[in-house]
Structure 1
Amino acid sequence: MKITRLLPFIGAAVLGLAGCSKDTDSSETSKLEVRLMDAPGDFRSVVLDVRQIEVHLKDENDPDGWKTLGFKPQTINVLEYVNGRSALLVSEDFAPGDLKEIRLILGPDSYVVGTDGQRYDLKTPSGQTSGVKLKLDKATLRQRSTFQLLLDFDVAKSIVERGNWRPGNDKKERYLLKPIIRVVAQDLAAGIRGTVAPAAALPQVLAIRATILGPDTVSTSADASGAYQLNGLAAGTYRVEFFPSAPAPTGQTAYHSETRAGVVVTNDNVTTIPTVNLQ
């Protein structure tokens, strides 16, 4: 299986899928996802200014063990991600091995909007400098699988009102941000499989899931019998696209592309798509 954002044989109809994932042999790599969800609090909005995400790969006190992940700095309203919804922050190929810690570097632009409709800046005592560090227990990335770190942000416990604040004081000084985040680490063992005909079309298969980062695309090629399987997928709803990479023999009907929308994938299960005919 290969992970990619754009394949060279795909025409202009799918150019919008272009991105920056690597095209590597997934038998030697894993995939790492970092997602954020929220336990609700008594605010209209809670916006975090996330500048950088890192993971630690070595012993706890080794300063050289940090690796920066492919995350685009952004502000995230965590209250949009409740009741099972989560924001995908990172999705990238990663070498198998153990992760010791994850660290979020926060910028100065975090804020809340209270029930009074007023915006209050959030002061972060340590997150703006050394970062918010979260220890990981038994976080091991394995070959040909997706490993997900789900960061469960507790709004009610993380946002603390200053004891000396009174109405009429400078509203920027009302709240402190002291992040309380629970980390849920899990292997993702879901997949999609099926058969594409005719096998002579050398079919390519793309499974595309919409995320906050844009389309997340996993691809593979059918084997000599037309069978394919995509492993290590996150749960969600996918659009699966099938493309011939070889022309039909002279005198035969030309091969064409096909799409199957609304393919639901659940954790630890492999979803089977009925045979897809490209001719």
Structure 2
Amino acid sequence: MKNFKKYLFGLLVFAPLSYSLTSCNDNDDTQGTSHVAVRMTDAPGDYDEVNVEVLDVMVKGNADTGEEGWVSLGNVNPGVYNLLDLTGGVNVLLADNDIPSGFLGQIRLILGDDNTVVKDGVTYPLHTPSAQQSGLKLKVNQTLEPGLTYNFLLDFDVEHSVVVEAGGSGNYNLHPVIRVITEGTSGAIKGQVLPIGLQTLVSAQVNGTEVSAYTNETGSFQLNGIPAGTYTVTLTPDATTGLPAVLVENVTVVNGEVTDIGVHTIE
């Protein structure tokens, strides 16, 4: 339906503007404001381009899954974004605003029709299945403190979000797989793998979950949303090369900082 141009591919979250946020103390009329910013980044996938049209960023002050209460965050930067430009630590600001402090519930992106994927130089429409139109809602359930700035990073996993339709139809569907990261309460790991052009999967185990990203065209990578601690980073080259994986041990991460592990050559 053309009317449903605004495909809702929900993400994570926060608290709506003015009237929608609730204070930690309902009797406190001077709760103050917090500054929130929503940014988008990407883990590379095996495509030339993955373009999504962002029309709006909607926010909601509670965890209710219904359709009532959604409002625009405001100060939105609409446009068509190539997700593969947002790799190796690059991100783009989608929206930011001052909102009343209090409980942060949910957020979702409003997408337009201009979504495409480019594979081997050929451009294909990137469809949003009807099941996604109601929104994929991710919850943060966080209380915003007055006077503080909160940066929410939407880490878009292209490899798992773009799905080729079965049966050889050549259709591409968007099934968003996104991690929501609160910068300041986590850190990141970046580096570079040589030789340039060698596709390498970079991964680390975080509390029993694998966080991973592919290197981009320059061999650079960044793993976002890594809590403070010490980790082993695994560099796994494309299996067709026959090259061994490389372990980088004792990588220390500090919340709010990016740990650079430097350049590593696989041979």
Letter in 2 for 1:149: F
Normalising by structure 2, report the TM-score. Answer: 0.54
What is the correspondence of 1:1-279 to structure 2 with a 5 Å cutoff? 28-61=32-65, 63-70=67-74, 71-114=76-119, 116-126=120-130, 129-136=133-140, 138-165=141-168, 174-187=171-184
**AA at the equivalent of 2:164:** E
Where 1:152 maps in the other structure, the secondary structure is: strand
Cα distance in 2 for partners of 1:158, 1:73 equals 21
Note if contact 1:139-1:185 (Cα within 8 Å) is conserved in structure 2. no
Instruction: Tell me how far 1:99 sits from its aligned partner.
Output: 1.5
CA contact (8 A) 1:49 1:107 kept: yes
Change (3 A) 1:131 1:95: same
Return closer, same or farther for 1:127/1:58 CA change in 2, 3 Å cut-off: same
Find the residue that maps to 1:64 and give its secondary structure: coil
Aligned to 2:237: none
Q: 1:127 to 1:187 in 2, by over 3 A?
A: farther
Runs of 4+ in 1 over 4 A off after TM superposition: 266-269
Does structure 2 conserve the Cα–Cα contact (< 8 Å) formed by 1:36 and 1:86? Answer: yes
Q: After superposition, what is the alpha-carbon deviation per residue over 1:208-259, rounded to whole angstroms, capped at 9, x for unaligned?
A: xxxxxxxxxxxxxxxxxxxxxxxxxxxxxxxxxxxxxxxxxxxxxxxxxxxx
Paired residue type of 2:144: L
Instruction: Report deviation, 1:267.
Output: 7.7
**Post-superposition offset of 1:61:** 4.1
1:56 maps to a residue whose letter is K
Q: CA deviation at 1:128?
A: 7.1
User: 3-state DSSP class of the match of 1:79?
Assistant: helix
Q: Which has the larger radius of gyration?
A: 1
Query: How many residue pairs were aligned?
Result: 159
For 1:44-93, what per-residue CA distance to the aligned partner results, in whole angstroms no more than 9, with x for missing partners?
Answer: 11111112211110241454332211114311111111111111111211
Give the gaps of 5 or more residues in structure 2.
1-30, 186-253, 258-267
Instruction: Name the CA shift for 1:127/1:96 in 2 (closer, same or farther; >3 Å).
Output: farther
C-alpha change, 1:131 and 1:107, in structure 2 (3 Å) is: farther
TM-score normalized with structure 1 length: 0.52
CA distance, structure 2, for counterparts of residue 139 and residue 44 of structure 1 = 37
Q: Supply the distance in 2 between the matched residues of 1:105 and 1:127 (Cα, whole angstroms).
A: 15
Query: Partner letter of residue 149 of structure 2?
Result: T
Amino acid corresponding to residue 176 of structure 2 in structure 1:
P
- State the secondary structure of the residue aligned to 1:156: helix
Considering only aligned residues, what root-mean-square deviation do their CA atoms show, in Å? 2.6
Query: For the Cα contact (< 8 Å) 1:51–1:74, is it kept in 2?
Result: yes
Q: Is the 8 A contact 1:35 1:90 kept in 2?
A: yes
5+ residue gaps, structure 1: 1-26, 167-172, 189-265, 270-279
- Contact in 2 for aligned 1:46/1:112 (Cα 8 Å): yes
Query: Closer, same or farther in 2 for the Cα pair 1:40/1:29, shift >3 Å?
Result: same
| In 1, Cα distance between equivalents of 2:175 and 2:51 | 14
Which structure's relative contact order is higher, taking Cα pairs within 8 Å and 6+ residues apart?
2
Give the Å deviation of 1:126.
4.0
